[in-house]
């Protein structure tokens, strides 16, 4: 469900924020029913029009490289003639169905809306878009044509129904009422609505016709969040966790209704609701997206339930200590970093253990056997390992020097309360691994790191060939793992104030994001560099692939390898397209205590290259 929620929100935001059309008179916030547990309302912001040119350049490169046609040729050239003929017929019918739709107008729409309502066991989704009236007519007609095509292709087994509802015509798949999904489309003036439920469309149309409808946008928590956040110039997303979890608790009732006398169903209901209760700690989460210059900015306000710390998930994420001086962990030249209070896995383990004991008493024998095994080997998962780590962690990467060819060093630190026990377990693990013939031949060992007190180097022949020197050790209550001793030395020097940290670095100041007070999470990513690196890797694979194909040719014939050769031939073109996406430069995200009780605030800034600027000179 979270994946679907994230994907739907991302799709709406990505399309809507590129739109260069003037705002329409229609207000889609009027169409959000009070029962929606999620909605995304996005609109065009002229400040982001310049980003459309970047996207157009990506698409132009994709077309110039003929990636689509070439890929289609690779696939169709190996299809049986009859299958190719059928596929061609279907494709031509699809093209005819939507031939009159101006998809550029849809992509450049004034407003987008998506909302979800849980109806019994089904999560119903509805989308709405504001277009010019002529574009709306064409778009609706195209969707109806597609529905009619499905009906024809199924021999009428999926019939079409057409109904009138308050100045709108609703076209639906006329499925039996016991089928929970009834895909439908309707047009209300310049608004086109598409939904998995005809009932949801009827509700939305009725609300659009109402001068003062009761909408989710008027929810007191929505109003409270909007007051505490910047103006949503580009988009506003609201997730009602309390409502969603309440609806989820109703699922067992639905199941019991199907078979009231089924004891297993009754037990499932109790177990399901007990499990939901352990994770139901989100009251709401509201997100606004806005623009400042060449920065795409996002602010997320989330509020936990008053009793969050009484639930397993709440105990796992609320007991850690925030970072008071997070900048002192990060070298000034860092190319990527992440700090997080994290999740206390001991609380998760203890909560699950208690849940199983309470809800599944028949599992006690298995739990006792698991405990006996731990006693036998002398390692206790919870006491020895999970309780040693409270969840806080730091990860950072930085270059080994100033020149462009400098290698990237990395360090990860985890807060550790029992270093002696963890060190003992590490040595036991390495000693056991050394008994494996392959690793024995690799001369696996854990030895004192030269010149780095309290740290040990993991040695292996393969590491030496790769010029890798992974080290692990403990310092000031943290377990620290580094890619090389030099990485740990630099990390500790920064932490002790002996080397410059990120606080005054230009790379940090560019984001114009306040960092006063403790923070729960911080992350920085050089997206543009990552994109360019990905394109370089694709080019390298394309260059090396012929050598591996030559080796494979000894086992397979030319005809078998031909499709692979053709696909490899696409890689340089794909790399060109990927490289065009590096107009998104860098991203910084910081999470801290929120402005209202029991809340958190997560702010994110993404730097986008200004028109005409090079990669090296882009500024916020």
Tens digit of each residue's pLDDT (9 = 90 or more) over 353-366 = 999 999 999 999 99
The pLDDT value recorded for residue 551 is 62
Q: Say how many C-beta atoms besides its own lie within 10 A of residue 500's C-beta.
A: 13
| Average pLDDT of the residues in 59-70 | 94
Q: What is the mean pLDDT of the chain?
A: 89
The pLDDT value recorded for residue 515 is 74
The pLDDT value recorded for residue 558 is 64
Q: pLDDT-based confidence at 24, cuts 50/70/90?
A: very low
Taking the C-alpha atoms of residue 81 and residue 95, their distance in angstroms, rounded to an integer, is 21
Tens digit of each residue's pLDDT (9 = 90 or more) over 249-308 = 888 777 777 777 777 778 888 899 899 999 999 999 999 999 999 999 999 999 999 999
Judging by beta carbons within 10 Å of its beta carbon (0-12, 13-18, 19+), is residue 81 exposed, middle or buried?
Answer: exposed
Look at 85-89, 128-132, 133-137, 151-155 and tell me which has the smallest mean pLDDT.
85-89
Look at 125-129, 269-273, 361-365, 520-524 and tell me which has the smallest mean pLDDT.
269-273
Taking the C-alpha atoms of residue 19 and residue 43, their distance in angstroms, rounded to an integer, is 8
The pLDDT value recorded for residue 16 is 45
Give the CA distances from residue 328 to residues 415, 506, 542, in Å, rounded to whole numbers and listed in that order. Answer: 16, 15, 42
Structure tokens at 114: 């998506």
Highest mean pLDDT among 100-109, 294-303, 328-337: 294-303
**DSSP 3-state assignment of 173?**
strand
Per residue, the 3-state secondary structure of 270-311, as one string, reads: HHHHHHHHHHCCEEEEEEEEEEECCEEEEEEEEEECCCHHHC
Look at 311-325, 519-533, 534-548 and tell me which has the smallest mean pLDDT.
534-548
CA-based R_g, the chain, Å: 29
Highest mean pLDDT among 47-56, 71-80, 139-148, 295-304: 295-304
- pLDDT greater than 70 at residue 616: no
- pLDDT greater than 50 at residue 513: yes
The pLDDT value recorded for residue 99 is 85
Half-sphere exposure of 439 (CA within 13 A, CB side): 13
Tell me if 335 sits within 8 A of 526, measured CB to CB: yes
Tens digit of each residue's pLDDT (9 = 90 or more) over 427-462 = 999 999 999 999 889 999 999 998 898 899 999 999
More confident residue, 503 or 398: 398
Tell me the longest C-alpha to C-alpha distance in the chain. Answer: 81
The pLDDT value recorded for residue 606 is 96
The DSSP code for 29 is G
The pLDDT value recorded for residue 496 is 93
| Average pLDDT of the residues in 196-200 | 94
- pLDDT greater than 60 at residue 120: yes
Half-sphere exposure of 345 (CA within 13 A, CB side): 15
Look at 115-119, 293-297, 362-366, 463-467 and tell me which has the smallest mean pLDDT.
463-467
The pLDDT value recorded for residue 3 is 43
Which percentage of the chain shows pLDDT scores above 90? 67
Highest mean pLDDT among 230-239, 242-251, 449-458: 230-239
Highest mean pLDDT among 99-113, 190-204, 249-263, 495-509: 190-204
The pLDDT value recorded for residue 9 is 46
For the chain, counts of helices (H) and of strands (E): 21, 20
The pLDDT value recorded for residue 514 is 78
Taking the C-alpha atoms of residue 15 and residue 136, their distance in angstroms, rounded to an integer, is 17
| Average pLDDT of the residues in 11-40 | 69
Look at 44-58, 437-451, 556-570, 591-605 and tell me which has the smallest mean pLDDT.
556-570
Tens digit of each residue's pLDDT (9 = 90 or more) over 67-81 = 999 998 888 887 888
The pLDDT value recorded for residue 22 is 38
| Average pLDDT of the residues in 544-561 | 69
The pLDDT value recorded for residue 609 is 95
Judging by beta carbons within 10 Å of its beta carbon (0-12, 13-18, 19+), is residue 380 exposed, middle or buried?
Answer: middle
- pLDDT greater than 90 at residue 544: no
- pLDDT greater than 50 at residue 620: no
The pLDDT value recorded for residue 90 is 86
The pLDDT value recorded for residue 365 is 95
- pLDDT greater than 50 at residue 313: yes
Q: pLDDT-based confidence at 136, cuts 50/70/90?
A: very high
């Amino acid at each position: 469900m979270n994946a679907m929620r994230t994907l739907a929100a991302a799709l709406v935001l990505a399309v809507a924020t590129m739109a260069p059309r003037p705002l329409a008179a229609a207000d889609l916030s009027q169409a959000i029913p009070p029962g929606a547990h999620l909605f995304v309302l996005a609109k065009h912001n002229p400040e982001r029009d310049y980003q459309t040119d970047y996207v157009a350049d990506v698409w132009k490169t994709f077309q110039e490289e003929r990636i689509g046609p070439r890929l289609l040729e690779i696939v169709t050239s190996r299809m049986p003639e009859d299958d190719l003929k059928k596929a061609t017929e279907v494709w031509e019918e699809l093209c005819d169905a939507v031939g009159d739709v101006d998809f550029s107008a849809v992509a450049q729409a004034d407003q987008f809306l998506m909302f979800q309502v849980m109806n019994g066991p089904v999560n119903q989704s509805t989308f709405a878009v504001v277009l010019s009236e002529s574009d709306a007519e064409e778009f609706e007609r195209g969707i109806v044509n597609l529905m009619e095509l499905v009906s024809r292709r199924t021999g009428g087994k999926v019939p079409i129904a057409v109904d009138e509802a308050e100045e709108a015509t609703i076209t639906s798949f006329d499925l039996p009422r016991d089928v929970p999904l009834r895909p439908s489309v309707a047009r209300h003036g310049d608004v086109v609505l598409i939904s998995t439920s005809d009932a949801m469309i009827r509700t939305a149309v009725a609300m659009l016709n109402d001068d003062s409808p009761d909408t989710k946008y008027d929810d007191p928590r929505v109003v409270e969040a909007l007051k505490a956040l910047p103006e949503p110039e580009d988009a506003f997303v609201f997730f009602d966790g309390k409502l969603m979890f309440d609806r989820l608790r109703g699922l067992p009732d639905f199941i019991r209704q199907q078979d009231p006398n089924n004891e297993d169903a009754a037990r499932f209901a109790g177990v399901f609701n007990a499990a939901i209760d352990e994770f139901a700690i989100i009251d709401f989460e509201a997100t606004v997206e806005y623009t400042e210059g060449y920065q795409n900015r996002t602010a997320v306000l989330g509020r936990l339930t008053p009793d969050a710390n009484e639930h397993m998930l709440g105990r796992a994420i609320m007991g850690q200590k925030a970072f008071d001086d997070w900048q002192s962990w990060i070298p000034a030249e860092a190319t990527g970093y992440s700090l997080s209070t994290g999740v206390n896995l001991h609380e998760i383990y203890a909560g699950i253990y208690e849940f199983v004991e309470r809800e599944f008493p028949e599992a006690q024998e298995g739990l006792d056997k698991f405990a006996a095994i731990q006693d036998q080997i002398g390692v206790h998962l919870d006491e020895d390992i999970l309780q040693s780590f409270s969840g806080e962690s730091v990860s950072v990467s930085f270059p080994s020097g100033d020149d462009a060819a400098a290698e990237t060093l990395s360090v990860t630190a985890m807060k550790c309360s029992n270093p002696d026990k963890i060190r003992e377990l590490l040595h036991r693990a390495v000693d056991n691994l050394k008994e494996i013939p392959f690793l024995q031949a690799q001369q696996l060992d854990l030895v004192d790191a030269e010149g780095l007190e309290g740290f040990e180097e993991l040695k292996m022949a393969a590491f030496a060939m790769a010029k890798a020197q992974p080290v692990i050790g403990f310092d000031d209550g943290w377990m620290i793992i580094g890619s090389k001793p030099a990485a740990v030395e630099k990390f500790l020097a920064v932490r002790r104030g002996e080397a410059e940290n990120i606080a005054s670095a230009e790379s940090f100041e560019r984001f114009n994001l306040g960092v006063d007070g403790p923070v729960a999470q911080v992350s920085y990513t050089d997206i543009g560099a990552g994109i360019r690196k990905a394109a370089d890797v694709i080019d390298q694979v394309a260059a090396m692939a012929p050598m591996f194909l030559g080796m494979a040719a000894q086992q397979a014939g030319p005809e078998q390898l031909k499709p692979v050769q053709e696909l490899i031939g696409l890689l340089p073109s794909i790399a060109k397209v990927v490289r065009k996406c590096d107009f998104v430069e860098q991203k910084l995200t910081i999470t801290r205590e929120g402005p209202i009780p029991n809340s958190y605030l997560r702010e994110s800034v993404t730097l986008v290259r200004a028109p005409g600027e090079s990669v090296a000179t882009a500024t916020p």
